Amino acid sequence: MKLFKILPFFSIHSVLIILISSCSFSDDTSELYKIFSEVDEFGFKENPIRATYAGISKYNDKMPSVSIASINRRLEYWKSIIERLNAIDQSKLNDNDKVNFSIFLDMINGRIDAIKFKDYQMPLNADSGFHTGLSRLHKAMPFKTESDYMDYIGRLNQFPLFFDEHISNMKKGIEENRTLPQVVLNGYEVTISTHIVDEIKESAFFTPFKSFPKTMNKEQSEKLSELGSESIKKNVIPSFQKFLDFFLNEYYPNARKSLGASELPNGNEFYQYKIRQFTTLDLTADEIHNIGLEEVKRIRKEMDKIISDLKFDGTFEMFLDFLRTDKRFYAKSAEDLLKEASFIAKKMDAKLPSLFKKLPRLPYGVAPVPDDLAPKYTGGRYSGPAKGSNEAGYYWVNTYKLEVRPLYNLEALTLHEGVPGHHLQNSIAAEITGLPDFRKRLGITVFGEGWGLYSEYLGLEAGFYKDPYSNFGRLTYEMWRACRLVVDTGIHAKNWSRQKVIDYLSSNTALPIHECTTETDRYIAWPGQALAYKIGELKIKELRNYASQELGQNFDLREFHDTILWSGELPLDLLEQNIKNWIEVKKAS
């Protein structure tokens, strides 16, 4: 399925990762790289948490500001960067830097759009928010010296202002009818209340004070532990309490009753911005909706064939009910679920050399989703380490309510979140050389999630899904992503109700009803994000088929995969250009 027209080739000498130009910089190139560097530094200074995760420690004692004055200052800065970019003569740039320029320009325009549409007034999601990652921030920070601990305490001391600024923005959102829909916020308070504890040592924020380096004496450690405890008591817990009170007494009661993005101020324009943000394409909601309907129809035929092959005596709906209720498809304990996920992950590790020529070094582990997130969280997710930390990557598996975590989906989920999915792609991105630093931190959703869904498909070629129920689970996951194209556009452009979305998911996939519900709330709260998976996967499959046809016997699947991942994240139009450049080089060799 073609998502957009074929683009012109670059020259043979401009393949993004295979051939990196080494010619001398022109004045325009020097200016471009100067802008890259300045924007990086500005971004780290404005968002110290981002700096910490990038391995930059000089802002480790600071929290970001989200005051209106800070937001307006950033807006003026981004506009000045656009002016400087417009002054660059792109004809003087080499082909690689033309790509860098294009991606960078899109990134800056995206930041301007985020402020224009006042994303900062809605800093929550259905299962997370500005506050949910704070308790794990310490994992990205060093704790080797007294100064390191004082940096962390300095951050804790700034929690009241950080929370107050977010609350102020959310209050303005209430005034302007720019809130999350009320229906997705039921039970959300647990993400806040879990950090309001009576015993300071039970707080997740106390974790760094439970152990100290051997280089510290008892007097130092006791002093730091006391300062940390005091800040948690005076700053952290009261901040969460104030936020909880605001959420329960002001935000939730006044959250909007409508669902779709189209109901927000400038709603249709806002949703088109989100489509562009998450797909990198200018597709309309109707175009995406129709692509989804076509994919749902195609995948349903494959699912029906499996049911027929199993000689199941009943309807499609009866088969789904059988999968959701038969105890054989569910783990008996959280430990059993984690063990099964770990086994699948390790099994896939051994298959990677057959799919890739060059592999990254970073290992990953399997762990349960943290308790404060689990009730409203998806079945699993990947959590990458901070740059320069001693942490591995982690594939989180949700062990909350085992009766809604079917084993027949586990192979697809594990391949998506672990390898060859998110962990592999993110680990490669961290090792790529020859790209500007900003390219390594992009987070282009359609690239990463498209690759994740494609990774589920690769399991077929790696010997997974031998069991028909597991293969039906794979198709359920693919159908789920196809349904997302239908329901996301349905919610945000066609006034679909929440129940209509739940019914559509439950009648087309074998997802448990609980997951159909949590996923529905996620789509309502996060317009456009769900579109990235299927749109990205379709493009990767399209390019693979094209490359195979063009190269015939010279097509090398491992090289194809390496060309995608070792080139860094790209918007879909530039991903297509890159693969076509690779094909041209292969033909000429």
Nearest to 548 by CA among 560, 537, 564: 560
**Pair 307, 282 in one domain:** yes
Q: What is the per-residue pLDDT across 441-484, written as a single tens digit (0 to 9) for each?
A: 889 999 999 999 999 999 999 999 999 999 999 999 999 999 99
- pLDDT higher than threshold 70 for residue 97: yes
- pLDDT higher than threshold 70 for residue 129: yes
pLDDT at 391: 84
pLDDT at 255: 98
77 domain-assigned: yes
- 132, 191 contact by CB (below 8 A): yes
The total number of structural domains that make up the chain: 3
Nearest to 4 by CA among 542, 373, 517: 542
Q: What is the per-residue pLDDT across 172-230, written as a single tens digit (0 to 9) for each?
A: 999 999 999 999 999 999 999 999 999 999 999 999 999 999 999 999 999 999 999 99
pLDDT at 25: 62
463 domain-assigned: yes
- pLDDT higher than threshold 50 for residue 305: yes
298 domain-assigned: yes
pLDDT at 533: 98
**Pair 112, 153 in one domain:** no
**Pair 430, 513 in one domain:** yes
- pLDDT higher than threshold 90 for residue 7: no
**Pair 171, 243 in one domain:** yes
pLDDT at 390: 76
**Pair 397, 331 in one domain:** yes
**Pair 277, 355 in one domain:** yes
Mean pLDDT value across the chain: 94
Q: What is the per-residue pLDDT across 260-274, written as a single tens digit (0 to 9) for each?
A: 999 999 999 999 999
Query: Reduced to 3 states, what is the DSSP secondary structure of residue 122?
Result: coil
The per-residue DSSP string of 325-383 comes to: H-GGGB-SSHHHHHHHHHHHHHHHHTTGGGT-SS-----EEEEEPPTTTGGG--SEEEE
pLDDT band at 375 (very low <50, low <70, confident <90, very high): confident
pLDDT at 24: 52
- 585, 15 contact by CB (below 8 A): yes
- 463, 350 contact by CB (below 8 A): no
> Which of 19 and 506 is assigned the larger pLDDT?
506
pLDDT at 440: 87
Distance CA 359, CA 377 (A): 30
The residue segments making up the domain with residue 172 are 134-257
Biggest CA pair distance of the chain: 73
The residue out of 89, 117, 145 marking a domain boundary is: 117
pLDDT at 12: 33
pLDDT band at 2 (very low <50, low <70, confident <90, very high): low
**Pair 359, 502 in one domain:** yes
Residue 315 token pair: 């309807």
264 domain-assigned: no
The residue out of 517, 536, 555 marking a domain boundary is: 536
Q: What is the per-residue pLDDT across 497-539, written as a single tens digit (0 to 9) for each?
A: 999 999 999 999 998 898 999 999 999 999 999 999 999 999 9
**Pair 298, 187 in one domain:** no
142 domain-assigned: yes
The residue out of 192, 225, 257 marking a domain boundary is: 257
559 domain-assigned: no
- pLDDT higher than threshold 90 for residue 386: no
pLDDT band at 389 (very low <50, low <70, confident <90, very high): confident
- pLDDT higher than threshold 60 for residue 20: no
Q: What is the per-residue pLDDT across 306-341, written as a single tens digit (0 to 9) for each?
A: 999 999 999 999 999 999 999 999 999 999 999 999
- pLDDT higher than threshold 70 for residue 547: yes
DSSP 386: P
267 domain-assigned: no
- pLDDT higher than threshold 80 for residue 23: no
